[in-house]
Amino acid sequence: MREVAVDVFHLPLAPRSAVNAYLVGPVLVDAGFAWQGSRVLSAVRGRVVTEHVITHAHVDHAGGTRKVVDALRVPVRAGARDLPDLHSGDVAMEVPKALRRASKTYASFDAVPEAAALTVGEEVGPGFVVLDTPGHSAGHISLWREDDGVLICGDVINSMSLATTRPGLQEPPKMFTPDPVENRRSIRRIADLEPRLVLVGHGPPVTNAASKLRTLAGRLPQD
């Protein structure tokens, strides 16, 4: 675990930051796959954790949540439109027939029926504000701290190729993004913030992020 901004810690849960969680003050953001829940708990051992926030209800972000919440006994919250998936532990995805078996594995995790809704605009942790950034999931949220330009944005973007692990900003895979057009709108929204540091679900932290995000947003299709 490494501090990347004031009161913001990066918890890489897989090699090359292929899966990430974050600790912002006393708030744990995301928890990786189910088998990575133990890594999260090990990383935060000895630290105060008062709440668990999920950027979106996909198994690589909420899969470890059940283990984390049972161990830490903290409330868990996420975007309101993602609560039905968290409550059931099943995510409905339309993918090509050849990939349906993989999507079923991707879309199932231990249910979190006690998850409650975050409110857009509310403050979370040390100065972060909840943003509505849908597309990759209906209720996807991001956390933005304007004072120092730190953005935690889940899977609105990836900072690596999930196929090759090569670094670089890109859209998330379309087969796991129910509404790519809406997600592109979210990318343009976060680019307009001109963040200094962007922290994502998959890939290393992005420094000097404003120009890189502008470049990505500029080459997106104009849907």
User: Poorest-confidence range of 90-99, 119-128, 145-154, 213-222?
Assistant: 90-99
Provide CB contacts within 8 A for 32, sequence distance 6+: 13, 14, 19, 20, 21, 39, 40, 60, 61, 63, 64
Q: Where are the beta strands (DSSP E) in 46-87?
A: 51-54, 76-79
pLDDT tens for 12-58 read: 999 999 999 999 999 999 999 999 999 999 999 999 999 999 999 99
pLDDT(148) > 90: yes
pLDDT(210) > 50: yes
- pLDDT category, 222, cuts 50, 70, 90? confident
**Counted domains in the chain:** 1
Output the CA torsion sign for 101, 187, 77, 127.
Answer: positive
Our measurement of the distance from residue 149's CA atom to the centroid of its chain's CA atoms, rounded to an integer in Å, reads 17
pLDDT the model gives residue 91: 83
pLDDT tens for 52-107 read: 999 999 999 999 999 999 999 999 999 999 999 999 998 866 544 444 455 455 56
pLDDT the model gives residue 101: 54
pLDDT the model gives residue 90: 86
For residue 34, how many other CB atoms are within 10 A of its CB?
A: 18
Q: What is the CATH number of the domain that holds 139?
A: 3.60.15.10
* Phi, psi (degrees; rounded to nearest 5) at 40: -60, -50
Structure tokens at 104: 């079923």
pLDDT the model gives residue 97: 46
pLDDT tens for 158-182 read: 999 988 889 999 999 998 899 999 9
Q: In terms of residue numbers, what domain contains 155?
A: 2-219
Q: Whole-angstrom Cα distance, residue 97 to residue 31?
A: 29
Q: Whole-angstrom Cα distance, residue 69 to residue 73?
A: 5
pLDDT the model gives residue 152: 98
- Please tell me what DSSP assigns to residue 37: H
User: Poorest-confidence range of 7-16, 87-96, 149-158, 210-219?
Assistant: 87-96
Q: Beta strand 150-152 with 8-12: parallel, antiparallel or unpaired?
A: unpaired
Amino acid, single-letter form, for residue 45: R
Q: Whole-angstrom Cα distance, residue 85 to residue 91?
A: 5
